[in-house]
Amino acid sequence: MFPGPEIHAHKGDTIWVNVTNTGPYGVTIHWHGVRQIKYPWSDGPEYITQCPIATNSSFLQKIILTEEEGTLWWHAHSDWTRATIHGAIIISPVNGTSYPYKFDEQHTVVISEWYARDTKDIIDEALASGGDPDLSVAFTINGHPGDTYSCSDDSIYNLTVVQGKTYLLKIIHAGLNEEMFFGIAEHNITVVGMDGAYLKPLNTNYLMITPGQTMDVLVTANQTSGRYYMVFSPFTDTNAPSNNNVTRGIFQYSSYNQSETPALPELPGSTNKSDAGNFTIQLRSLNSAEHPSTVPTSITRNVTITVSVNQQPCPANQTCTGPDGSMHSASLNNISFSNPSISILQAYYNNINDTYNKTFPDSPPFVFDFTGNVSAIGEVANVSTEVLMIDHNDEVEIIFQGTNLGAAENHPMHLHGYSFYVVGMGDGNFSDSYISDYNLVDPPYVNTVGLPKNGWTVIRFKADNPGVWFMHCHLERHASWGMAMVLVVKNGVNEDDRVLPPPDDFPTCSGS
């Protein structure tokens, strides 16, 4: 199935999924946005928490829902296999409670990218040559490329609606490498949730969504009976190669003549950074009595992380196809993450040495005008497997600082094991003078945030979930180039605050 099967659950449920790999190479599955309290064993990123599930073997994964409510998703987390292995997780309120909004029907809308070749071959070849990976050849809505491609006209997503009804669209961005604008012709949309948490209703005529994010939006069929295109159009504020096609489906009133040409929405242009930012900065958590915000205000751990696209020199006796004959690379605090040979969780839990270093720096190793003219700054990063150690229950603030190295662009930063509050965001270099402008009342509570091109973003969370948690750019090519790191949140002193034991069938790394 493409997209894969939906999982439906209620808040607080525990879900068991028996994952059997019938594909030709190893794979892992991640439950994106599920906190998995004290249980990183099922989190999924390969070589971080587990090794791949081998062909023709199974792993019974336990997905522990706690506070999550709304839309999340699951996807493969090995190489680029998530391109085609993904699906929705729909989490309803527990019985006896209700949604903080009204709707008549809900529909899942998965935006994805389709590649012409096996995505494992694409990224393996790109990493070997140092060059750019193939671009996708189409974007799809619920598996349909739509009528902007030379495919069958039948292959378009149609949502048939009834005049006067309100529809809850659960939008999931499962694409690999492009952020997206979305809108429906002549209809306003109201964003009411994101990443498994509620938002204050935000009325808009477009949204911007990054890979890794989910958004719950309401749309009411309150216009003249007709056919209206719903369009996803890429946001690409970079000079890196990008797929600039659009994909569209049809929002059509049930009573209408289906031969009419639908109307098109007006969406921001593909390089419109200000429209992307203007949407994102309006997001606010609901912060109601039933769904209060609990923003950490007594920070005990401050971390600043630069987010960069880099180059590595071409190895001797090799030809590389990256910029000026080099190899593409990417880094956090100038460290380009390198996968270990056994999982970091396995090594951490069993006290196995020499798998990773505990020396990820709390601040950039050297300071420059990060978002200015960087032509005199070397672009080489250190390739290493570094983790950031965090004490249990620390109140953590991370300042992400984009840099102008390589091809600057928006980076959707994603953290496993946590959602976090986005308390500040802006252009240019971060400055302490921005602290007084933080939103500590109702900032959005999300698992993925778009760090603006040549800008900064500040997030906060309480480190109440011990374990080994991956943090990375959700643009897959950047993650593959090393724009990633690992947080190890230590156990607390109480028996209740420790990582639980592993399951019996955990895919360890020896022999896989």
Alpha-helix residue ranges (DSSP H) falling in 306-430 = 344-349
- For residue 394, the minimal CB distance to Cu ion (Å) is 26
- For residue 364, the minimal CB distance to Cu ion (Å) is 17
Using CB atoms within 10 A of its CB, is residue 30 exposed (0-12), middle (13-18) or buried (19+)? Answer: buried
Distance from C-alpha of 132 to C-alpha of 140, rounded to nearest angstrom: 22
CB 479 within 8 A of CB 502: no
Tokens describing residue 384: 């290493």
Judged by beta carbon, residue 38 or residue 478, the one nearer Cu ion is 478
Tokens describing residue 68: 């999550």
- For residue 336, the minimal CB distance to Cu ion (Å) is 13
- For residue 473, the minimal CB distance to Cu ion (Å) is 3
Judged by beta carbon, residue 293 or residue 312, the one nearer Cu ion is 312
- For residue 270, the minimal CB distance to Cu ion (Å) is 17
Judged by beta carbon, residue 227 or residue 273, the one nearer Cu ion is 273
CB 276 within 8 A of CB 179: yes
Judged by beta carbon, residue 173 or residue 478, the one nearer Cu ion is 478
Contacts of 344 (CB under 8 A, 6+ apart): 47, 48, 49, 355, 356, 385, 387, 468, 486, 488
Judged by beta carbon, residue 332 or residue 345, the one nearer Cu ion is 332
Distances (CA, A) of 231 to 207, 235, 279, 323, 491: 11, 13, 17, 33, 46
**Nearest alpha carbon to residue 223 among 275, 262, 258, 279:** 262
**Nearest alpha carbon to residue 345 among 356, 330, 332, 337:** 356
Tokens describing residue 282: 């309006």
Three-state DSSP class for residue 127: helix
- For residue 45, the minimal CB distance to Cu ion (Å) is 16
Judged by beta carbon, residue 44 or residue 452, the one nearer Cu ion is 452
- For residue 475, the minimal CB distance to Cu ion (Å) is 4
Query: Backbone phi, then psi, for 206, in 5-degree steps?
Result: -155, 160
Pairing mode, if any, of strands 29-32 and 14-20? unpaired
Judged by beta carbon, residue 444 or residue 482, the one nearer Cu ion is 482
- For residue 23, the minimal CB distance to Cu ion (Å) is 27
Judged by beta carbon, residue 308 or residue 439, the one nearer Cu ion is 308
CB 337 within 8 A of CB 482: yes
**What is the binding site for Cu ion (CB under 5 A)?**
411, 473, 475, 478
Judged by beta carbon, residue 195 or residue 237, the one nearer Cu ion is 237
- For residue 309, the minimal CB distance to Cu ion (Å) is 7
